[in-house]
A and B are shown apart, each in its own frame.
Chain A
């Protein structure tokens, strides 16, 4: 299968994307995407696809979704000017505050949207996968809200690393199922959730947490997360008096990034996605799928993945569990191929530094995932003084305290010094 695009083809695909024509009817974003699922799952995906077509843009559904976003999630989330960070970086820095959304990250936008969809489709129960636990918590909360039982599949390794989130999910009424197969992390949890779905495709709704996997998930998740970019665009016009010169978001599977970027694709600005550079550029040292991966099929989608020469998917490393995934959403693979979005990597150390700088200058403890976007924005600012930038502050960092306590604070520039 091809993955390289000619110049004319890239231009045509970008135009189609801006016009809302992608994915096509086969779930393709240019060469990427599609639906590579076992025959046993085909009826389940067909049913989901039909449900998405029927309900997602229907007026009643949208009204209910918007009401839940407003009254339960707490949207619109704020757009914050960052004066002290701006002064330090020499650029005008604005933050889209998804950390202020209910349960502490953008994940809830997708979770409540899909939970409402599950209800419409007549599902008896919901299953979800989770890595760090954020999507699991969001799913547990959303299912409690709509009144559906929820089981969250989570790798045994992650259960150990993310004990507080396991407790949160359980208290929110979800059953947490330990996955002992494969690498016992997110990838294995997705495989196990799919296996469970196969056993009862009619009664179960699978609430996937990122813009990855087989069609229609990358499309469905993008549509539910686009509220981030729609709000941010209007807020920039209202509060900053104009659109940014550059917009940054971190990319694991890529749901917060596609939600922020998608409504901005047609605007004249740089879009920069930031992946987890981990401890180095070697296979297994990072989760920088777009920056260092190659095209292949993983978990239902033709996209960029981290694999060896034999097509075996490799384990990843990142300090942030939410970016620690061997694949990436197929729409990001297209945005890279057309050149519309630039994808960079920030290392574990750079992310930690950026996290501390934001704490110190703006009083915001951001998530380790999000810190990667700040690290790249800081570097970009060095070469672009005076420009206006927007950063997707996708989640809050309270969940990262167990990790952060292992690293002594590096920056000590408070009033007392």
Chain B
């Protein structure tokens, strides 16, 4: 089974257990590089899949919280090679991993090498926020050659025809951005969220996970009525920033 299908299966399994899948996001090596694997394992014990953020100097789609964590990790010397070797030492986690990275660090690493290393260290799929569908063919082919998926993002402003294209092209799950904006916003979830998520779910053959602006148990439950899973990013990174317990926080959101 290709790795991206294991990711799909993990989301579906949560739904079969009667709850929305929970996909926590952490910035690799934040707040302490030495604690990366411990944090990852603790988050993975509650999440159905874990999104691992690769720090980047210009995180244009992210709000202040993730920007801060990204810069902090970079200043500690965190890079892709270090992340892969940490994952290698940690061994297989049993929870599928998704890597979130802006394009340039992946380009610098080299797509073929990236796909091989990622597969070998338990990564199932990639999310690349500054790589729109029109530009993604080269990376997608390199990833799929190793059984890895490139997850496509859709937004409330995505026109119908484009939505179909993106859902078709996605692997693992479809990432439904809940708001028109950046991560970590404090505007709350929009009122017409349900209709939008229902539309995406109707088009997509894959499970749909919603992300951006999900901060509390209510949000997860709310999103869970119309999507297969919820992605929790900035709110979790804030807990890490304040030295809180990520596992307890995720359990309070309804994690497994």
Contact = CB atoms under 8 A, between A and B. Distances in A.
A42 to B, nearest CB: 6
Given A38-B130, A311-B108, A313-B58, A181 B103 contact: no
Contact of B104 (A194, A195, A198, A297): A297
Nearest to B56: A312
Interface in A294-338: 296-300, 305, 307, 309-314
Interface stretch (A29-37, A168-176, A221-229, A233-241): A29-37
Nearest to B152: A39
A36 to B, nearest CB: 5
A39 B177 CA distance: 9
Contacts of A38: 60-61, 129-130, 132, 153
Interface residues of B, number: 42
Interface stretch (B154-162, B191-199, B226-234): B154-162
Contacts, number: 109
B64 A181 contact: yes
A210 to B, nearest CB: 16
Nearest to A190: B60
B217 to A, nearest CB: 26
A388 interface: no
A201 interface: yes
Nearest to B177: A40
A299 B58 contact: yes
Most buried by B among A26, A34, A37: A37
A191 B132 contact: no
A312 B153 CA distance: 23
Contacts of B153: 38-40
B92 interface: no
A296 B154 CA distance: 25
Interface in B163-190: 166, 177, 180-182
Contact of B135 (A36, A187, A199, A305): A36
A35 B135 CA distance: 7
B107 interface: yes
A39 B180 CA distance: 10
Contact of A36 (B59, B74, B103): B103
A392 B64 CA distance: 40
B104 A1 contact: no
A199 B182 CA distance: 8
A103 B59 CA distance: 33
Contacts of A194: 60
Contacts of B177: 39-40
A88 to B, nearest CB: 44
Nearest to B81: A310
Contacts of B104: 296-298, 305, 307, 311-313
Contact of A1 (B132, B138, B152): B138
Contacts of B180: 40, 198-201
Most buried by A among B63, B104, B155, B181: B104
Nearest to A305: B104
Interface of A: 1, 26, 34-40, 42-43, 181-182, 187, 191, 194-195, 198-201, 296-300, 305, 307, 309-314
Given A39-B158, A40-B61, A314-B57, 9 more contacts: A39-B129, A39-B132, A39-B155, A198-B181, A199-B182, A201-B157, A299-B60, A307-B104, A311-B105
Interface of B: 56-61, 63-64, 67, 71, 74, 79-81, 103-109, 129-135, 138, 152-155, 157-159, 162, 166, 177, 180-182
